[in-house]
Every structure is written in C-alpha cells, then in structure tokens.
C-alpha cells in the first residue's frame, strides 16, 4: 500500500506533464478546426434551425460558457499567485511544472470559452472526449492531493482546492456535453423528418417539453416534474395533461438509429442476439453512458463511510488526532451521502428512461417485421405469440435496464470491499473473498435451472396466449354452439402447464434468494473465523468497518437473484425476438411492379406457378398464363377450393412464386372475402388514410348503398365501429370495405367474392353501380359464385384444382368444356326451381299473415330518435378507477391465498430474522474490544460459535420466509387467473361486442405477468424494508434516544411527500396501463388485416400509427418514473439530513456516556437508512402502481355474467325439443341500454318440422333474431317458446346444446380436422367420416396424409372460406338437433355446392325445423314459409307461393328482380 502511495507522489512531475501534453493537443485541434472552418466551411447554415436549437438549450449554453470563463479566470489568478510565491521563496523543478500547467490551463480554457462563444451550440466530438479525459485525470489528481494532505506533504492547499474545483467542472461539462449531443442529434434529424412522415412531426418539434427545457439544477433535482405533480393534487390527471416525450426520445427517431445499427437493410436479415444488444445500446447510448457514470460515482461514494468507520469509533473512544475531528468526520459522511443520493437518483432515472426507449424500438421493430410476414403461415408464429413478444418480451427487456449495471457494479464493489476489509482484517479479507466467490459459484446451477424454467414458462405462456386470442376472437360461435366452457377448460389446461413451470421458477428463485440473503452472514462468519485462526486481533472499530462493508455489499448480493433471474429472462426474450426477426419475410420478387400507365397490360402472368407451401410437390396454382389489358372486367369462377382466392392473392404478391413471371401495372385495391374492418369511425374506415373529398365520398356511399344504413346508425358515419365490425351486419361490413376500396380510386380492383354477404337486391345494385358504374373504366378482377354476374365480364377464368381450365367470354367458353357447364347447369337448376314456384303460385293455398307494417319514413324517424342519445356509441373508453387503490383491493388480493392465513406467519418469520441478524451484530460489537489494550470478555471460539449459531438461525428464517412468500404469490396468481377467465367466459356477448380484444389480452398477458412474478417480490421487499427500518431506528434509539427526536419530523415530512406525490403517480400508472390496450389492439388488428393493408400500400401509415401509440405509452411511463425519482430524491435528502443530525448528536455527547462500539454499530446500520427509507416509499408507491394490475383484473372478475348455464328446477326433458315449433310473442331487442331498438315487437310462429326462410335487406335484423333465439342477446321484452317451453326460463347450456347453427362467419380453430368437427369429443371416427362425406369434404380430407389428424392453422387459414363453411355444415350433421339455423350458410360456396348442401339438408333434416337466412333466393324459395323483415319489423310472413301470388308483395318483387337480373344477364347469353 505504501509503495502505491510512494508511486503516486511522483504526481508532482508526471501529472503536470500529462496535463500540459493534453492541453497542447487540445489547442492544436482547435487551431486546426479554426483553419478548416475559415478555408472550406459553408456560410449558408440553416439560421432557423440554429435559432430553434439555441433556444432549446439556452440554459446549458450559458452555464457551460460561464463555467469555462470562470475556470480560465481561476487558473489565471492561481498562476499569478504562484508566480509571486515562487519569486519570493525560490524555484524548483516540480513547482515550475505546476506553473506551466496553470499557464496552459488558463490559455486552453480561455480558448474553449472563445470557441464556444463564436460557434454557439456546436461542441465537437473531440472536445467532448477531452472533457471526459480531463474529468478522469482531475479525479486522480484530487485523490493524490487528499493522500498527500493526510500525510501533511502537500505543497499548497491551493492545489487541493483547485483540483476539487476541476473535478466539479469536469463532471458538469461531461453531463452538459452529452445533453448537447442530444440536441444536435435533433438538429441533424430535422432533415430526415419530411421523408419519414411527410413533415407531420414539424409541429411536434415546436413543442418544448419541461424535461428538454429544464436547466442543470432542475435536471439534478427533478424540479421540472413539480408542475405536473402539483396539478395531480389539484385535479385527476388525464392524458392531455401529460407533456410529450422529448424529441430525441420519440419512437421514430430511436427506431431509425436502432434499424441502422441492426444492419436490417443488409439483405441477409441474419439477426443475432448480440446484434440486437448492440443496436439496443446505440439506440439508448446516451442514457446508458449517463447511468454508467452515475453508477460509478454512486459506488465510490458508498464506501467512504466504511473506510472512515474505524476512525469514527476510535474518535468516540477518545483517540482524537486533531481538534474538531468529529465535525470533520460528520461533514465527510454528510457530503459522501449527498453525492450518493444524487448519483443514485440520476442513475435510476437514466436507466429507466433508456429502458423505455428500448421497449419502444423493440415494439416498433416487431411491428415492422409483422408487416412483412407472409399471411399464410407466419412460420409457426401465430398472432397471439407475436403479440406476446410485444407485451411480455419487450417489457421484460425494458425492465432489465434496472439490472444492466449490476454485474460490473458487483465486481467493483467486491474489489472496493476487499480493499477496506484488507485494511481492517488483513489476510482475513482473502478468506472473505473466497467465501463470496463460493456463494456466487453455488448459484450457477440454480441460475441454469432458472434459465430452463424461464424458457419453458415463456413457451407455455405463448401457447396459452395463442389459444386465448383465438378463442376471444371467436367467442360468438363458441356461445352459439355452447362450447365456451369446453374451450375454457382447454385454456385452464394450458395454464396448468404454465403454472407447473411458474411454480418451479418461483421456488427456484426463492432458493437463490435465501442463499444470497444468508451470504453476508456466511462471508462475515468465515472472515472472522479466519482472523481467529490467523491470530489477527479483532477490534470493534475494524469489526464494524467490516460489518458496514458487508452491509453495503449485501445490497448487490441481495439483488443478485433478481439480477440472475432478469439476465436469464432477458436472454430468453432477446433470443425469441432475434429468432422472430430472422423469419423469412414476404417474397419480394413475386410481382414486378410497374408504375401506372407505363404498360398497356395492367396484369400479366406467364407460366406462373405459386404455392402457399413451398415444400409441397404440388403447387397451389400452376400453369397460370393470362393478360389483362387496362379497363378490362375479369371474372373468376370455380368450385370450392379450386384456387380462386389464391389467384387473387398471387396478384397481390402474397403467395410465394415457384416459377414464371407476374407483372402488375398501377395501384391496387383489394376487397377480401372475409371483411376486415378496423375499430374506429365508419368514415375513418372508408377514407383509410386518404384526405376527405366530400363529393367523391358521397358518390361512393351512394354506389355502395350505405346511406340508408348510416341513417339508422346513432352517429351516421361518425359512429364508432366495434372491434372486427362487431356492431355491423355481414353485409354492412362487406359494403364498407367495398366503399374503402372505391374511395382509393386505384388502377386495379381485386374483389374476392364481394356479393356473398349481401342480399340479392343489394348485390345487383352493387354490381350495377360499382363494377359497371364507377369502375367501368378500371381494371376489375372479381371472384364470384353468383353466375348471373358472369355474362357482363370481358373475360371469364374458370378454375379447377389450381389451374385455369377455361378462359374467354361467356358465350365462347359455354360450349368449350365441361367445368363451366357444370357450374352453369347448377345455376340453371336453381333458377328453374324459382320459376316453378312462380308459375305454381296461382293455385297454391295458404294462410297469410301480414303483421306490424309501418312505413319507411316512420322507421327512419324512429331510428333517428333512438339514435340521438349522446351515449349511443357501442365501444366506450376503457374504464379506469380513480383515486387511491382501495384497501378492499389489497384485502381481496391477500385473501385469495388460504384466506390470508400465511401473511402473519411471513411477518413473524421476517421479524425473527431481523432480530437474529441485529443480535449477531450486537454480539460482535459487545464482545470485541475497542482497542488492542482491552482484554475481550469471551474467548475467540465462543465469539465465533455464537455468531455462527445466530447467523444460521437467521438464514433458516430467510429460507422459510422466501418459500412461504413464493407459495402465497403462486396461489394468488392461480386464483386470480381462474376467477377472471371464468367470469370473462361467462360474460354476455354484449361485453365482447363493446370490449376490444386488446383490453382482455392486456389483462391476460401483461397484468397476469405482473401478478405471477412482480407482485410477490414487491410485497416481500416491502416487508423486508419496513422491518429493516424499524430495526435500524431501534438500534439507534437504544444507543442515543435523542436520535428518535430527529426521526419524528423526518418521518412526518416523508409521509407528507408521499401523499403529495401519490395522487399524480397513481393516475399516471393507470393511464399508462390503459394506453397499452390500444397498442395491443392496433397490433392485433394489423396482423388480422395484413393482406388488406399491404394491398393498399398502407404500411407507412400503420407504421406511423404504431409510433404514435408507442409515444403515447412512453410519455406516460416516462413521467411516471420521473415522478417516482422526484419523490425519492427528496426522501433521500431528508434521510441524509436525519443521518447527519444523528451523527452530530453522537459526536456531541460527552466521552464515556455511550459505548463507542454500540455507537459505531448504530452508525453502521444508519448508513443504509436513506436508501432503505427511499426504497420503502418507492416500494409502497410502486406496489400501489402494480396493484393497479390486480385492480384491473378484479374489474373483470366483477363483470356481469350471463344467466346460468343450467337451472336444475327447470331443466327440459332429454327429448326436448321433440317437435321444434317456435313461437315468438311481442319480441323487442336492443344491443344495449343506450342503443336503438333492432327488433320492435315481432310476433310469429315457426311451425315444427317445416323450413322457414328469413329474407330482408342487409341490416334489417335477420341475424339479431337468430341471436335472440340462442339468447346471445337477451330480449328487452316479449318471449320465445320452443315446444311450449319459454327459453328464458331454462339454462343457456340446455338451450344452446339442443339447437344447431351454421353461422354467417365460418370459423375453424387451430388444431385438427377431428377437433374442429367434434370439439366436445362425443363422436366416433366413423360418425365423423360419415359427416364429412355428407358435407362433400370426405374426399378432400382423405387426400391429406394425416386424415382426421390433419392440422388446421390459426383461424383455419389453410382452408378456403367455402371449405370452412362446409366444416360448419359437418358439425351440425354430427349434432343432429331438432332445430337448425342457417345464417348465410352457403354465402361463400358456388351454386353447385350450394345445391348439394340444400339437398343434404333436405335429406337429413326433413323432420326438423330449419330456419334459413340467405341472400340467394334459390336457397329460400323452396321453404315452407318465408318471413320478410324490414327495419326490425315483420313486413310479410307466409308461404312463398302465397306471397308470389301478390305481385305487389315485397317478396314477389325481390324474386322478380332476382329472376329478371339473372335472365337478362345469364339466359340471354346461354
């Protein structure tokens, strides 16, 4: 040690020489820069940008300039003073070197001042580097000066003061130069902004946020947050009250940096975990560098007190080296604590700010990748898994910012601890190091287990979220079929698998925690034992210095399990994200895109072969060749599964190309077979990012026949559409997406069976006004099963088994092959059936019932009146609690685990640990002598044995507490999950209609993760910290009771600060929780509509939307963590003041009044008081914020349930319904108390065993009637009886399980063919094969290698829509109910398949009551009865023949229009 000091004494020569050399380099660099600027610099700088930036950081500019000028002046004054001193006392070499050093310092700092004055904000990178080096050198020189001063060998006290000032100046310049770098980055990026988003950000750039406008002192004390926290005490904070994020922290800017560092555009896309880490570092490098600097300063300042502990104890014992030594020691302790407080708060703030930025860029990157993934497979990644990457993995990497510095800080702290221990214990410190190393080594196998458990936990969570997402999307069909509880059991099974890994994970974490909590006692026991064996005398001062060191070392060691856990979790998350980013994107060379008008051919395919599965030996499409000139009207027809939709997808570039050429000239618009509607206003869905052109907009609405629909919506086109268009009928959704395509005014239009979801009248209107009207001069390619539209086509492509078998005009191909003839023959048969009914209607006998007629004008007036309520929107803002989290939330949370019985046990065990821990340290302080001269009261072996016994007992307490806490947390998480999911699955459909899926998924993923992993540890931390503080106050009060007087006002002030802070913080936490849901929802919607988004080339707009939502979440999170640091900084200052006053009391007490050893022990404990007190308040606040997750889950536990599934007292007989007669009496239905009536007093009877067709214009209430029959919607008034049983009096499961339905939207679930046909596993394979054959899918399934076990992808994407509809038919064939409902069941199949289905139904359901909703007249014309609805009222109800007799009836007109349209377009061409 002395050799080291002797070497440092050479500072008087070498440090000045090094300093002079650095000054020379700086001056040369500045001179070169000046010459370069004079010679070649352009004078046309952007004055406006310069002025904007100048205003932005004006405070920093003035402070930096003043600082440099002041330091140059100080150097000059000291130079002159030294000259006079040396002239009077003689010269020597070392003093001369110091003089030259001061001369160059004065010149250099003056030059820097002049440079900054002339160049404004421009601080070169090299000058920043020089400032950092200067700061480091100044720290070293100050350290040497302090050593020399203690040895009384310092030449002049002026040098010590000068170097102390130099350290302060260097620290400030390091901080400010990085702030300037941020501003300059903004200035440079201004050039890129218009290219990124059309200059939309320019307005935002003008907004000066409180953070960016804050001065140096405001930054260091977080005073810039004061106004927002004050506002939180005046009112409940809303989103608009929270300032924007700083310009340099916006998602778009961070993402551009991240993407460039990731080498995303290098073509290979080989993203490794290391590359991901590197890119993340560069995207948040400023905050990482800052936090590293503050962490370093904090760590050094922590060890000042242990270093001086022995000196302090000796002072209390009377060994005083100079007068006022006590107050010098107190001042040193106080300053060290102030530095520690400042450094820690800024360290934590910067690393959390960096974490928010990392999360932002990761979400943006995952979204960006999602925009490029092929829609057909996502290569094993379902939408639920991709959303999990965003909600869980990105959040976890953000949370890792808390722990990123812990590994190197632990190494630094161990080294500093060893130095202090070597000074106190000599060679015993080597044993302490070995024991510490042994503890860490022992955690390696546990850490490996933790990584394994974490990986499996995430995989099982992915599986659960995938299934949850799919089930929530299809909840309507599950409730219609009565399957929701079966699918809930599947999710609970997946949760049980996840819970198995969660249990292993939390118990393993508890094991690691207990080992590391016992580590300080183990290390100190081995160190003290080694000292006994090595005959090293143990004095209380040295023991207390060692204990103080162990207590400081205890914090990073305590955090080590969390750090190991987070490193493991973060590595797993990084690996998962890197693997996702490496997935193959959409094949870019499928389509050769030509600019509009550059070619006569809009679409040209030559020898094309395309396949969804590139490994399949048989391509999906093959031998595809055709040319489509501009303005041609092309129709594509064929049977179900022939490849029609795949052909459109290949033109869009969605299907991988195997061979051939495909050229597309101009912009495209695409109308998908299954409508994709965004949640938002009707107007927003139609505009789809385009500016409003009112005249064109109105023309589009008229062409799509939407005006009448808008009139009955509560807010016309400003009505908010629920998620997936939940509050629109199928036809309305289809017409809105047609309007969206029309409004884009594209060159090429691709329609995928657009008329299947609308009635015949609307279909004819759309064909006439859209395809033959607005689009008459556009290139239109449409798939259709309605053959009556084919004669108008300029070109017809007939497809079969993935090839084009016929191509030409209608008359050309009619006689040239059999495929088209089969389709035409089926359609002709359907028309013949309609004709036969028309001809026979004159002699038919039936009863007529025309009920409840009202005029359209009256309907419209009534609808407008009902829609006038201001609360008419279906989807409301997400509910959030206001005010503090109620005690009832905590009570419910605790009572979920064994009624809260384990909580007092945990409390007692932790208290026992604290008592034993304090007792062991008291023992060491009592039995060790203050100095060598005093004889110890007990032998060394007794001292160590008692200490080891106490330490072992405390370790056992820790193990018990950790295991009990893990058990309690696991039980609570399990109960919360089960209860919330049960209530969600038992909720009525109105809940799902009004609740975006993102809100539910947010609770099932993010909030559930908080309950699984974060809350148990937070409660444990709260308990440990509170008991620790009570122990410290007890120890200090026992030594000197006067200390308690100090704590009373401090505790009162801390309590007031917490109350003042919590109002704003609580609402910020709630707002940030709510702001996650739109992010998840937007992500989910984008993934489901990715084909539509890409077809319209709307990726930039959607990317901009996710950036905006990202920034919204980031600003709320940023201000939430800033508010936390605002509070903690003030609490730290109060604790530091209390600590200093306590020390003043101790040194002021006369010698001999208190035991020096006990006083030293009290100080040893008090060293952690400020951090513990801040930790306690922080944990309390953070716990309340985290409890908001519980509060949000409890909200869903309290949602109203549907009526009971089974009512034992009114259960129907097993044979019910035996006849199937349905009687409806005065039925009135609305979808919500604040929404208009949909059905308005229906009264009618559906005779048992007969087939009834329900027809009417789109949106008239057909589907609502069916939903009421299944009690998806409960009637407002009236009743429905089936075979005399009032369906409102029986259980929902009894009702729904006895009815069958083929829904409007065909649904398949991920799994197998078998699990889709028979989810309840009630039927044999033979019965399933029989059903498949009846629904025309038997041959298709037999072709597949795995037969009934053939995989079905998410949402049945590997099956065509028509095939999915046939699977739904197969389900009802298996179920064989007495009442069957067909809700547009054949909308997505060709006429031939429709005829086969109708024949199958006639054959197998001849004695059943069949209710059919259909747009094809041929599907209902052979019904026994027809019910015609008009705006929620029965307009006509009679047999088809009787209604056709009356040529003025609406049904007769509908049939006449259908046959006339078909005749005019079809028969005259045949």
pLDDT greater than 70 at residue 1376 = yes
Cα three-residue angle 229-232-233, rounded to 5 degrees? 100
Cis-peptide, bond into residue 1217, ω within 30° of zero? yes
Instruction: Report CA torsion sign: 1065, 1068, 1070, 1076.
Output: negative
- Residue whose C-alpha is closest to residue 771's, from 762, 760, 758, 781: 781
Summarised one tens digit per residue, pLDDT across range 1264-1308 is 888 888 888 888 888 899 888 888 888 888 888 888 888 777 788
Tokens of 251: 């998602």
pLDDT of residue 492: 92
pLDDT greater at residue 49 or residue 626 = 626
Q: What rounded mean pLDDT belongs to the chain? A: 77
pLDDT of residue 855: 30
Distance CA 1169, CA 1136 (A): 8
Distance CA 879, CA 546 (A): 54
Distance CA 1058, CA 1062 (A): 6
CB 1216 within 8 A of CB 1298: yes
Instruction: Report CA torsion sign: 16, 18, 22, 28.
Output: positive
Distance CA 249, CA 352 (A): 13
pLDDT of residue 1049: 81
Tokens 């049983």: give the residue: 1285
- Residue whose C-alpha is closest to residue 555's, from 733, 295, 786: 295
For residues 1358-1362, give the mean pLDDT. 74
Secondary structure (3-state) at 414: helix
Distance CA 772, CA 1429 (A): 29
Secondary structure (3-state) at 1203: coil
CB 275 within 8 A of CB 263: yes
Which pairing describes strands 803-808 and 795-800: parallel, antiparallel, or unpaired?
antiparallel
Summarised one tens digit per residue, pLDDT across range 1411-1451 is 888 766 666 777 888 888 888 888 888 888 888 887 777 77
Tokens of 237: 């904070």
pLDDT greater than 80 at residue 1408 = yes
pLDDT band at residue 709 using 50, 70 and 90 as cut-offs: confident
Of 9-23, 166-180, 713-727, the least confident: 9-23
Summarised one tens digit per residue, pLDDT across range 758-786 is 766 677 778 888 888 888 888 899 888 77
The kind and range of the H/E element at 21 are helix 11-40
For residues 1327-1343, give the mean pLDDT. 83
pLDDT band at residue 189 using 50, 70 and 90 as cut-offs: very low
pLDDT of residue 1469: 43
pLDDT band at residue 413 using 50, 70 and 90 as cut-offs: confident
- Residue whose C-alpha is closest to residue 383's, from 512, 451, 470, 497: 470
For residues 600-621, give the mean pLDDT. 83
DSSP 1468: G
Tokens of 56: 């932005």
Summarised one tens digit per residue, pLDDT across range 1035-1087 is 777 776 767 777 778 778 878 887 888 888 878 877 887 787 788 888 888 88
pLDDT greater than 60 at residue 1175 = yes
Q: How many C-beta atoms surround the C-beta of residue 640 within 10 A?
A: 23
Tokens of 903: 């909580």
Summarised one tens digit per residue, pLDDT across range 651-690 is 888 888 888 888 888 888 998 877 888 888 888 888 888 8
For residues 996-1013, give the mean pLDDT. 83
pLDDT of residue 199: 36
Tokens of 8: 């440092």
CB 634 within 8 A of CB 782: yes
pLDDT greater than 70 at residue 405 = yes
Summarised one tens digit per residue, pLDDT across range 877-889 is 555 445 566 778 8
- Residue whose C-alpha is closest to residue 402's, from 1069, 1075, 1018, 1167: 1018
pLDDT greater than 80 at residue 1332 = yes
Of 208-222, 595-609, 1164-1178, the least confident: 1164-1178
For residues 698-724, give the mean pLDDT. 80
pLDDT band at residue 256 using 50, 70 and 90 as cut-offs: confident
Distance CA 700, CA 691 (A): 14
pTM of the full predicted structure? 0.65
Residue-by-residue DSSP string for 1385-1432:
TTTTS-HHHHHHHHHHHHHHSTTSEEEEE-SSHHHHTT-SEEEEEETT
pLDDT band at residue 197 using 50, 70 and 90 as cut-offs: very low
CB 801 within 8 A of CB 638: no
Residue-by-residue DSSP string for 681-745:
EHHHHHHTTSPP-HHHHHHHHHHTT-HHHHHHSTTGGGPEEPGGGTTS-HHHHHHHHHHHHHHTT
pLDDT band at residue 110 using 50, 70 and 90 as cut-offs: confident
- Residue whose C-alpha is closest to residue 742's, from 682, 687, 786, 684: 687
pLDDT of residue 187: 34
Percent of the chain residues past pLDDT 90, beyond the cut: 1
Of 956-965, 1117-1126, 1437-1446, the least confident: 1437-1446
pLDDT of residue 1344: 79
pLDDT of residue 476: 84
pLDDT greater than 50 at residue 49 = no
Percent of the chain residues past pLDDT 70, beyond the cut: 81
DSSP 90: -
Cα 1231 to Cα 1000, 1227, 1244, 1266: the distances in Å are 20, 13, 21, 13
Distance CA 200, CA 94 (A): 62
Tokens 């072996």: give the residue: 941
Partners of 987 in the β-ladder: 1201
Summarised one tens digit per residue, pLDDT across range 54-91 is 443 444 466 777 778 888 888 877 777 777 666 566 65
pLDDT greater than 60 at residue 847 = no
Summarised one tens digit per residue, pLDDT across range 924-954 is 777 776 656 666 666 767 777 888 888 888 8
pLDDT of residue 391: 79
Of 391-400, 967-976, 1380-1389, the least confident: 1380-1389
**Which parts of 786-863 are beta strand (E)?**
795-800, 803-808
Distance CA 672, CA 512 (A): 54
Please provide residue 620's backbone torsions phi and psi, each rounded to the nearest 5 degrees. Answer: -65, -45
């Amino acid at each position: 040690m002395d050799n080291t000091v002797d070497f440092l004494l050479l500072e008087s020569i070498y440090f000045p020489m090094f300093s002079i050399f650095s000054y020379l380099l700086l001056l040369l660099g500045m001179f070169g820069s000046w010459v370069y600027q004079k010679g070649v610099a352009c004078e046309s700088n952007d004055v406006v940008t310069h002025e904007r930036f100048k205003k932005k950081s004006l405070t920093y500019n003035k402070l930096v300039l003043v600082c440099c000028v002041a330091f140059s002046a100080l150097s000059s004054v000291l130079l002159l003073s030294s000259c006079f001193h040396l002239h009077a006392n003689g010269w020597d070499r070392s003093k001369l070197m110091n003089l030259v050093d001061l001369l160059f310092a004065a010149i250099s700092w003056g030059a820097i001042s002049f440079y900054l004055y002339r160049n404004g904000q421009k601080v070169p990178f090299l000058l920043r580097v020089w400032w950092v080096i200067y700061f480091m050198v100044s720290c070293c020189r100050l350290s040497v000066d302090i050593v020399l001063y203690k040895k009384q060998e310092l030449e002049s006290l002026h040098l010590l003061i000068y170097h102390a000032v130099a350290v302060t100046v260097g620290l400030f310049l390091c901080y400010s130069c990085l702030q300037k770098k941020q501003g300059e980055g903004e200035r440079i990026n201004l050039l890129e902004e218009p290219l990124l988003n059309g200059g939309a950000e320019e307005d935002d750039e003008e907004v000066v946020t409180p953070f960016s406008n804050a001065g140096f002192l405001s930054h260091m004390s977080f005073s810039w947050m004061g106004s927002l926290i004050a506002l939180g005490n005046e009112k409940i904070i809303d989103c608009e009250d929270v300032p924007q994020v700083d310009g340099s922290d916006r998602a778009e800017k961070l993402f551009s940096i991240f993407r460039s560092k990731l080498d995303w555009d290098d073509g290979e896309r080989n993203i490794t975990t290391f590359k991901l880490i590197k890119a993340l570092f560069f995207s948040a490098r400023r905050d990482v560098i800052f936090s590293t600097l503050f962490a370093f300063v904090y760590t050094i300042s922590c060890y000042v007190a242990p270093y001086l502990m022995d000196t302090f104890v000796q002072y209390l014992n009377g060994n005083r080296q100079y007068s006022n030594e006590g107050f010098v020691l107190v001042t040193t302790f106080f300053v060290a604590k102030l530095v520690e407080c400042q450094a820690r708060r800024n360290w934590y703030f910067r690393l959390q700010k960096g974490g928010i930025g990392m999360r932002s860029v990761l979400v943006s990157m995952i979204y960006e990748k999602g925009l490029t993934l092929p829609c057909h497979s996502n290569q094993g990644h379902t939408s639920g898994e991709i959303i999990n990457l965003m909600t869980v993995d990105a959040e976890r990497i953000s949370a890792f910012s808390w722990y990123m510095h812990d590994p190197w800080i632990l190494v630094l702290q161990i080294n500093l601890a060893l130095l202090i221990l070597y000074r106190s214990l000599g060679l015993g410190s080597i044993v302490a190091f070995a024991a510490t190393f042994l503890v860490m080594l022992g955690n390696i196998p546990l850490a490996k287990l933790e990584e394994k458990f974490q990986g499996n936990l995430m995989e099982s969570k992915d599986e659960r979220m995938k299934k949850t997402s799919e089930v929530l999307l299809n909840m309507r069909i599950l409730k219609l079929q009565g399957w929701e509880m079966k699918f809930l059991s599947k999710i609970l099974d997946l949760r049980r698998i996840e819970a198995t890994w969660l249990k292993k994970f939390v118990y393993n974490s508890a094991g690691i925690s207990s080992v590391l909590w016992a580590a300080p006692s183990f290390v100190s026991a081995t160190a003290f034992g080694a000292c006994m064996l090595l005959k090293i005398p143990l004095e209380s001062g040295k023991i207390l210095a060692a204990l103080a060191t162990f207590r400081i070392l205890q914090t990073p060691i305590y955090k080590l399990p969390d750090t190991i856990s987070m490193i493991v979790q973060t590595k797993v998350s990084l690996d998962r994200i890197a693997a996702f980013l490496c997935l193959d994107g959409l094949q870019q060379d499928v389509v050769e895109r030509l600019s509009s008008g550059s070619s006569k051919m809009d679409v040209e395919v030559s020898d094309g072969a395309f396949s969804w599965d590139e490994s399949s030996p048989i391509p999906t499409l093959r031998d595809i060749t055709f040319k489509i000139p501009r303005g041609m009207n092309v129709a594509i027809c064929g049977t179900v599964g022939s490849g029609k939709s795949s052909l459109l997808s290949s033109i869009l570039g969605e299907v991988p190309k195997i061979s051939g050429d495909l050229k597309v000239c101009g912009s495209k618009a695409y109308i998908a077979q299954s409508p994709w509607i965004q949640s938002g206003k009707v107007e927003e869905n139609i505009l789809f990012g385009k500016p409003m052109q009112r005249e064109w907009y109105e023309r589009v609405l008229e062409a799509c026949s939407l005006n009448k629909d808008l009139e009955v919506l509560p807010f016309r086109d400003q009505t908010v559409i629920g998620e997936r268009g939940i509050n629109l009928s199928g036809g309305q959704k289809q017409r809105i997406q047609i309007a969206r395509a029309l409004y884009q005014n594209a060159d090429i239009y691709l329609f995928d069976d657009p008329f299947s979801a609308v009635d015949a009248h609307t279909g004819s209107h759309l064909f006439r006004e859209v395809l033959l009207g607005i689009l008459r001069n556009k290139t239109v390619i449409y798939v259709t099963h309605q053959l009556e539209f084919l004669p108008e086509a300029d070109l017809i492509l007939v497809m079969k088994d993935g090839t084009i078998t016929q191509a030409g005009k209608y008359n050309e191909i009619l006689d040239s092959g059999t495929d088209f003839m089969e389709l035409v023959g089926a359609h002709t048969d359907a028309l013949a059936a309609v004709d036969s009914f028309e001809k026979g209607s004159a002699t038919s006998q039936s009863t007529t019932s025309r009920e409840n007629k009202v005029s359209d004008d009256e309907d419209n007036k009534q609808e407008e009146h009902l829609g006038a309520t201001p609360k008419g929107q279906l989807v409301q803002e997400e509910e959030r609690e206001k005010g503090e989290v109620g005690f009832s939330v905590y009570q419910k949370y605790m009572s979920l685990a064994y009624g809260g019985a384990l909580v007092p046990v945990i409390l007692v065990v932790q208290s026992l640990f604290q008592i034993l821990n304090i007792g062991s340290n008291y023992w060491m302080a009592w039995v060790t002598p203050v100095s060598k001269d005093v004889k110890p009261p007990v032998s060394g072996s007794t001292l160590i044995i008692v200490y080891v016994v106490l330490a072992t007992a405390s370790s056992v307490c820790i193990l018990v507490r950790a295991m009990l806490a893990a058990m309690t947390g696991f039980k609570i998480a399990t109960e919360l999950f089960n209860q919330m999911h049960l209530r969600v699955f038992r909720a009525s459909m109105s809940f799902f209609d009004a609740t975006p899926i993102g809100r539910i998924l947010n609770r099932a993923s993010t909030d559930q993760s908080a309950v699984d992993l974060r809350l148990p540890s937070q409660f444990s931390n709260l308990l440990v910290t509170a008991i620790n503080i009570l122990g410290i106050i007890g120890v200090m009060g026992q030594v000197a009771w006067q200390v308690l007087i100090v704590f009373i006002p401090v505790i009162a002030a801390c309590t007031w600060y917490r109350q003042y802070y919590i109002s704003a913080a609580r609402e910020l936490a709630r707002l940030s929780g709510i702001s996650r849901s739109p992010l998840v929802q937007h992500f989910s919607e984008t993934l489901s509509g990715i084909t539509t988004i890409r077809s319209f080339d709307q990726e930039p707009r959607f990317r901009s939307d996710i950036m905006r939502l990202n920034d919204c979440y980031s600003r709320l999170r940023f201000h939430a963590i800033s508010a936390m640091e605002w509070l903690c900084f003030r609490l730290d200052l109060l604790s530091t003041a209390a600590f200093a006053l306590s020390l003043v009391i101790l040194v002021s007490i006369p010698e001999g009044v208190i035991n020096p050893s006990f006083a030293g022990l009290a100080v040893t404990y008090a060293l952690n008081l400020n951090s513990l007190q801040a930790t306690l308040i922080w944990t309390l606040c953070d716990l309340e914020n985290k409890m908001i997750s519980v509060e949000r889950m409890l909200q869903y536990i309290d949602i109203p349930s549907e009526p009971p599934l089974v009512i034992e007292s009114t259960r129907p007989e097993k044979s019910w319904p035996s006849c199937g007669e349905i009687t409806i009496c005065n039925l009135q239905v609305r979808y919500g108390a604040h929404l208009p009536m949909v059905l308005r007093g229906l009264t009618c009877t559906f005779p048992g065993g007969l087939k009834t067709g329900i027809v009417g214009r789109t949106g008239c209430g057909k589907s609502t009637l069916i939903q009421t029959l299944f009690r998806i919607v409960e009637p407002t008034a009236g009743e429905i009886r089936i075979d005399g049983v009032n369906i409102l009096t029986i259980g929902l499961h009894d009702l729904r399980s006895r009815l069958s339905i083929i829904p409007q939207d065909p649904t398949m679930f991920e799994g197998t063919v078998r699990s889709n046909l028979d989810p309840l596993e009630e039927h044999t394979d033979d019965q399933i094969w029989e059903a498949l054959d009846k629904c025309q899918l038997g041959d298709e399934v037999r072709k597949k290698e795995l037969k009934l076990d053939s995989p079905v992808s998410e949402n049945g994407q590997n099956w065509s829509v028509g095939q999915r509809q046939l699977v739904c038919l197969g389900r009802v064939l298996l179920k064989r109910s007495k009442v069957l409902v067909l809700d547009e069941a054949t909308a997505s199949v060709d006429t031939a398949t429709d005829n086969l289905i109708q024949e199958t139904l006639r054959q197998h359901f001849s004695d059943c009551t069949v209710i059919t909703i259909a747009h094809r007249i041929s599907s209902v014309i052979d019904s026994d009865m027809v019910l015609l609805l008009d705006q929620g009222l029965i307009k006509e109800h009679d047999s088809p023949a009787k209604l056709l007799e009356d040529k003025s009836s609406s049904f007769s007109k509908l049939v006449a229009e259908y046959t006339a349209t078909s005749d005019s377009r079809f028969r005259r061409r045949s």
